[in-house]
Amino acid sequence: MPIEKTLVFLKPDAVQRALVGEIISRFERKGFRILALKMLELSESFVREHYATHRGEHFYEPLVRYVTSGPVVVMVLEGKNAVQVVRDMMGETFGTESPPGSIRGDFALSDRYNLIHGSDSVQSAVEEIGRFFRPDELVSHPTDGLRWVYDMTGTEPV
């Protein structure tokens, strides 16, 4: 599996419920590296664009209101198979359908207020990272910290 980057943001309910540290901590402990991190209030037009594929759905307008209702915490995570692993750690879209042990399974009950966004494909990750961050906002870490996360003795992390 390749080393990938993915875009995550913690939605306004995660910030207001003081779950930011808890959720970031899960990604850190898993072994992901944080390449970029910031807190901001998303504009309505930005959110409409981010969720453009859902335009016309019955939940689109409530979703726009939800995601613009307070500050969010946005990050780029890097790791092996990051897009799918982060999606698995998030759980299902609805809190009630998310397995215990996942972020939504442990902390969410709503069909709407579900704490976290994560890119759903490598292609959407590239697009979303480009929408949220300038290239120079991504750091590069020293690689020696990874040698107890992956087997780094070959040409690729395994």
Taking the complex as a whole, the smallest distance from the CB of residue 68 to Mg ion amounts, in Å, to: 17
Residue listed under structure tokens 């915490």 = 73
Q: Is 37 helix (H, G, I), strand (E, B) or coil?
A: strand
* Least distance (Å) between residue 37 CB and Mg ion: 21
CB of 73 or CB of 83, closer to Mg ion: 83
- Cα distance from N-terminal residue to C-terminal residue, the chain: 8
The three-class DSSP label of residue 124 is: helix
Rg (alpha carbons) of the chain, rounded to whole number: 16
Catalytic residue of the set 50, 54, 58, 117: 117
> Closest CB to Mg ion among 62 and 145?
62
> Which residues does 10 contact at the CB level (< 8 Å), separation at least 6?
19, 20, 23, 24, 72, 73, 74, 115, 116
Residues forming contacts to ligand IDP in the complex (CB under 6 A) are 54, 59, 63, 93, 111-112, 114, 117, 120
Chain residues in the site for Mg ion (CB under 5 A)? 120
Residue 104: CB partners within 8 Å, gap ≥ 6?
A: 90, 91, 92, 93, 94, 95, 98, 114, 115, 116
Nearer to Mg ion by C-beta: 121 or 143?
121
**Binding-site partner at residue 115 among Mg ion, ligand IDP, none, CB < 5 to 8 Å by type:** none
Residue 30 near which of ligand IDP, Mg ion, none (CB within 5-8 Å, type-dependent)? none
| Cβ 81 to ligand IDP shortest distance, Å | 17
> Can 141 be counted among the known catalytic residues?
no
Q: Which residue is nearest to ligand IDP (CB)?
A: 59
Which active-site residues does the annotation give? 117
